[in-house]
Structures are given as C-alpha cells and as structure tokens.
C-alpha cells in the first residue's frame, strides 16, 4: 500500500529564461498553424501547387520545432540525432516508389 | 600484458551495462526506437492515402460549384466544414484547426511538466500533467464529435451512381466521394486517436505516480520525460495528418 506523503524535497527555483524559451516555441507553432489557415482559405484556388508547396514547407517547420525542441533531439548527442533522422530516408523512398505506382494505376484505369 | 589487462577490464565494463550509448538512458533510447518504428507505420498510412488519392481523378472545377460525387476525390475543406452548435454554417477547417491548437497546447504543458521534473518540483509536475491530460481528453472529445458528424453526414447527402441517396459514411460507402475516402479517414484518424487515447492513459499513470510520490522517492522524474517523448510524437503525427489529410 502506497501512502501519499508530504514532500520533503525543496524544488529548485524555475529558470525564467528556460520557460520563456518553451513558450516561444509554442508561439511559433501557433503562428505557423495560423499561417497555414490563411494560405488554405485566402490564397486563390488557382495557386494549387504553390499552396501545397507552402503547406509541406510549413509542416516541416513545425515538425522540426517539435522534434528539436519539445522532444529535445537537437540537444542530444549528434550520433543519436542522426540515428533517429537517417532511417526516415526510407520513407522518402517509399513515397517515391508508390507515387510512381499510383500514377501508373491512374493511367491504366482512365486512359 | 598491461595493455591486455586494460582492454579486458574495459570490455567487461562495456558489456556489464555500465555505459549508456548516446549518453541516453535505456528507457529513453528504447522510446526513440519505438517512435521511429511507429513513424514508419504512420508514414505507410499517409503514403497509402496519397497513392489511393492519386489513382482517383481529382475535382477540376471551381470550389464554389463543388458537390460531392463518387466519381472524383472530394476537396477536404468542403467535407470538414462543420462546427458543434453551428448547424448548417460553413466553417471550413475551423474545427480541425481548433483540435490542432488544443493538441499543440497540451504538448507545451507536457514540456513544462518535464521541465518541472528536472527541478524536482512535484507540485508543478502534477499541475502540468493535469493540464496535459485535460488537453488530451478534450482532443479525444473533439474527435468523437468529428467522427459522429462524418458518420451521420449532412442534411443534403449525395446521390450514388445507381441514383439512390446516401447520407454520411460507413466502411462500404460514403456521401463525400469514393469509398476509399471514408476508409482512410477512419483508419488514419482512428489510429492516431488510439495513440492519443493510450497517451492519455500513460500520462495519467505518470500523474498518479508523481502524486503519490513514487517518482520523488525514485530520485528523478525521467518517466515524465519518456512518456513526454511519446506524447510529443502524437502531436507530431497530428501535424502531418492535418496537412496531408485536411489541407492538401
């Protein structure tokens, strides 16, 4: 049986600059998401490929901040960082291979 | 001889588990490796979505004339435009946007919990963990509403190729577009939602352990960090789902 106890450990005081850094990343993530909305709803329909390019770019900006700062990967050992990042190259390979396949299926069905 | 002795003793140290590869603890490293494999699973889902989408014709006309049809892939911002209590009002992507903000915020409170854990500040860990759990639960609630709306469909519905009407969606047919569209919606957001659910469960476990003092007696709050990695990953996946399912 675990009984709740009164803590005897005195916590260290918070470092204001560290907390501010966390909120700064949060504000950047919020602003990028807001920008995505602006692009989705305000940019003309005819700019379709440019919009998709912007969306993917902004997604990677957000993913970068989450992985580097929130998940702390940028501050780990460089070897750990590359161990995590390099295998994602295989995703690009899968993407390339399957999209070529998808186009072939589309051509076969509709042309 | 001296050289050999040094070698064998250092080898023994390495194999006895005295060292930490990458200067990361066992638990953190294994969490990273799990997340990499999970990232592959989600990539496979999203790429499969892209493949199936490209093998269907896209909608060519202008957005204002858009109507649901089985013969082309729907435009996401025309599908996801409902908001609770605003029945019949067109609010494209507003609800998913809100969900995105909620998940990002709960990621922020998780970082703050990790930061409090580094300082051995039990009360702050409890406070930020509660906010993180709350954010996760709100997100799950939003997703439940979104699914319910998607399944029940709009008032207008749409016409199937055989002329009959369909309202909402199931795994065979849906009013929004080709059958695969709803199947992918259920699979991708459902798989992500299940991750959020298990994340909330893990967060609650850590909150409980912090509250009853288990983590404090252990001398460190590394469990908060490990579960935090998982929670940020759930947020990260949502960033990609948001872009590739809802925006593009």
Locate the domains of chain A by residue range: 16-75, 77-111
pLDDT value, residue B2: 46
In this structure, the dihedral spanned by the alpha carbons of residues B94, B99, B101 and B106, taken in order and rounded to 10 degrees, is 170
pLDDT at A110 > cutoff 50: yes
pLDDT value, residue B129: 97
pLDDT value, residue B17: 66
Report the complex ipTM. 0.89
Q: Is residue B67 classed as helix, strand or coil in its secondary structure?
A: coil
CB contact under 8 A, B232 and A66: yes
Report d(CA B209, CA B215) in Å as an integer: 6
pLDDT band at B44 (very low <50, low <70, confident <90, very high): very high
pLDDT at B47 > cutoff 90: yes
Please give the average per-residue pLDDT across A77-106, as a whole number.
92
pLDDT at B102 > cutoff 70: yes
Share of chain A above pLDDT 70, in %: 93
pLDDT band at B192 (very low <50, low <70, confident <90, very high): very high
Residues of B in contact with A71 (CB under 8 A): 229, 232-233, 236
CB pairs < 8 Å spanning A and B: 153
Residues of A in contact with B35 (CB under 8 A): 84
Superfamily of domain B22-51+97-247: Cytochrome c oxidase, subunit III, four-helix bundle (1.20.120.80)
pLDDT value, residue B132: 97
Minimum-distance CB partner of A102 among B54, B57, B120: B54
**Cβ neighbours, 10 Å, residue A30:** 16
Computed over every residue of chain B, the mean pLDDT equals 89
Report pLDDT digits (tens) over A37-80: 899 888 888 888 899 999 999 999 999 999 999 999 999 999 99
The answer to whether residue A77 neighbours chain B at the CB level (below 8 Å) is yes
Lowest-confidence pick of B59-63, B97-101, B132-136, B191-195:
B59-63
* Nearest chain B residue to A68, by CA: B232
Minimum-distance CB partner of A71 among B43, B50, B229: B229
Report pLDDT digits (tens) over B56-72: 988 888 888 888 888 89
Minimum-distance CB partner of A94 among B35, B47, B214: B47
* Nearest chain B residue to A16, by CA: B115
Residue count of chain B:
248
């Amino acid at each position: 049986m675990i009984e709740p106890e009164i803590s005897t450990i005195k916590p260290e005081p918070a470092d204001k600059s560290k907390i501010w850094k966390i909120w700064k990343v949060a504000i950047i993530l919020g602003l990028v998401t807001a920008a995505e909305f602006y692009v989705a709803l305000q940019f003309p329909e005819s700019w379709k490929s440019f919009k998709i390019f912007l969306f993917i770019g902004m997604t990677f900006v957000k993913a970068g901040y989450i992985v580097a700062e929130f998940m702390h990967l940028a501050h780990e050992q460089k070897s750990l960082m590359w161990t995590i990042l390099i295998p994602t190259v295989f995703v690009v390979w899968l993407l390339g291979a399957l999209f070529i396949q998808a186009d072939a299926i589309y051509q076969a069905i509709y042309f | 001889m001296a050289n050999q002795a040094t070698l064998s003793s250092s080898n023994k140290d390495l194999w006895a588990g005295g060292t930490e590869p990458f200067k990361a603890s066992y638990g953190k490293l294994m969490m990273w490796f799990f997340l990499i494999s999970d990232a592959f699973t989600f990539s496979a889902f999203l790429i499969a979505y892209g493949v199936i989408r490209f093998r269907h014709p896209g909608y060519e006309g202008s957005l204002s004339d858009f109507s649901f049809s089985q013969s082309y892939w729907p435009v996401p911002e025309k599908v996801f435009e409902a908001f609770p209590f605003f029945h019949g009002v067109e609010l494209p992507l507003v609800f998913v946007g809100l969900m995105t903000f909620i998940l990002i915020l709960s990621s922020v409170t998780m970082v703050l919990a990790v930061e409090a854990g580094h300082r051995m500040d039990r009360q702050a860990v409890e406070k930020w963990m509660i906010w993180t759990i709350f954010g996760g639960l709100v997100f799950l609630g939003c997703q439940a509403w979104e699914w319910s709306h998607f399944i029940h469909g709009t008032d207008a519905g749409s016409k199937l190729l055989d002329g009959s009407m369909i309202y909402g969606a199931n795994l065979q047919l849906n009013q929004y577009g080709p059958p695969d569209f709803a199947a992918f919606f259920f699979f991708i957001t459902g798989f992500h939602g299940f991750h959020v659910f298990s994340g909330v469960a893990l967060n609650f476990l850590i909150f409980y352990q912090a509250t009853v003092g288990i983590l404090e007696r252990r001398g460190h709050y590394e469990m908060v960090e490990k579960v935090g990695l998982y929670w940020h990953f759930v947020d990260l996946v949502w960033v990609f789902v948001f872009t590739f399912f809802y925006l593009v």
